[in-house]
Amino acid sequence: MSESPVRSILMQCATRSGLAETPCALCGEGTFAERLAASPFLMAPMAGVSDAAYRLMARVGGAPLAYSEMVSVTGIHYHSQKTWELVLPHEVEPNIAVQLFGSDPEHFVEAVYNVTQAVGDKLALIDINMACPVPKVTKGGGGSALLDEPELAARIVRACVGATVVPVTVKIRRGRRMGEEVAPEFARYVADAGAQAVAVHGRYANQMYRGEADWDVVARVVQAVDVPVIGSGDVRGAEDAVRMLRECGCAAVMLARGTYGNPWVFGQAQHVLEGAAFVPPTANQRIEAFCEHVRLLEATGAHMARGRSLAGWYLRGLPRAAYWRGLATSCVTLEDYLSLVDRLRAEVACA
């Protein structure tokens, strides 16, 4: 049987990178904590960003694990097709972490059970979002609203742990309101309830993404719990990632906006951790990665408009970046992006 063009592109991408043969770094031997410590640079969940194409690029760039966008347990309860599209990994993805949000323990149990069944061996862990500050999520009592409800949060964790065979983890913020830090105590609650790791974003929920993330709170959570802690917030590159590991004593680090246009950051961080020098990507590598990424958008059925933000991210720092970004805003089809790439290649070759 001949391979479909979509599968062929994805397999080429996976094979070139060795991804197709990569065993799931977080599903092997040893305890979950040991495996996490051995593969500490994770691709963070990002709604509207961390789709299958983005996760594949991150994996090719060296991420041992990438998270889904956050997924509503209520959406799963109502069998929403759009929700399931967020959950299911692409066939060439070796594994995935699925992040769920909501506030109803019964919906969580149902969602965790169904996700475990549907994703099967590729499910590395289920993370519960107790961090999201967006009103659409907190109004329903989910995301960072749970930081005000430690008893309910613990009940949700206990319920989820009983419904799956994979580790259940929790992602939190420093607190809900500026100046009211709850993370260390809250982390103890959810760890006592069975969470196998806690990820901490060092901003208060009402800071949204403004201001600086406080890394000291990550260190305070490390002191407060016996389970591995995953640090998050203002990890802008490989050197930051290694610095956070060392300064905070956390087991792992999540990279979010620092991965924009920089899927190599995971491999770079691993190299820096091992004492190697930091080598930034060349202009050509950035252009080719952009090209690969837009091909993956099409191959995975994503909305091609996502390529416009990708252009801004991958082409940052190149000569006439603003001009190329401007051109990308009128790209609609894969062919539009590929012709932009051809012009870019020609300009960089002549530079």
Ligand X SMILES: Cc1cc2nc3c(=O)[nH]c(=O)nc-3n(C[C@H](O)[C@H](O)[C@H](O)COP(=O)(O)O)c2cc1C
Interface with ligand X (CB under 6 A): 44-49, 69-70, 99, 129, 131-132, 171, 201, 209, 213, 232-235, 256-258
CB atoms < 10 A from the CB of 319, how many?
12
Q: Please name the helix (run of DSSP H) or strand (run of DSSP E) that holds residue 296, with its range, or none.
A: helix 283-299
Cα 24–Cα 26–Cα 28 angle in degrees, nearest 5:
75
CB of 232 to ligand X, least distance (A): 4
Q: Smaller CB distance to ligand X: residue 113 or 313?
A: 313
Q: Smaller CB distance to ligand X: residue 79 or 210?
A: 210
Q: Smaller CB distance to ligand X: residue 9 or 70?
A: 70
Residues 6+ apart with CB under 8 A from 113: 163, 164
CB of 347 to ligand X, least distance (A): 30
291 tagged catalytic: no
CB of 216 to ligand X, least distance (A): 15
Beta bridge partners of 128: 100, 170
CB of 350 to ligand X, least distance (A): 35
207: which 2 tokens? 């800071």
Beta bridge partners of 172: 130, 200
Distance CA 295, CA 281 (A): 20
Q: Are 302 and 51 in contact (CB under 8 A)?
A: yes
Q: Smaller CB distance to ligand X: residue 50 or 164?
A: 50
CB of 141 to ligand X, least distance (A): 16
Q: Which of 13, 24, 27, 132 is catalytic?
A: 132
Ramachandran angles phi, psi of 252, nearest 5°: -155, 170
Q: Smaller CB distance to ligand X: residue 215 or 324?
A: 215
| Rg over CA atoms, the chain | 20
Residues 6+ apart with CB under 8 A from 184: 217, 220, 221, 223, 224, 225
Residues marked as catalytic: 132
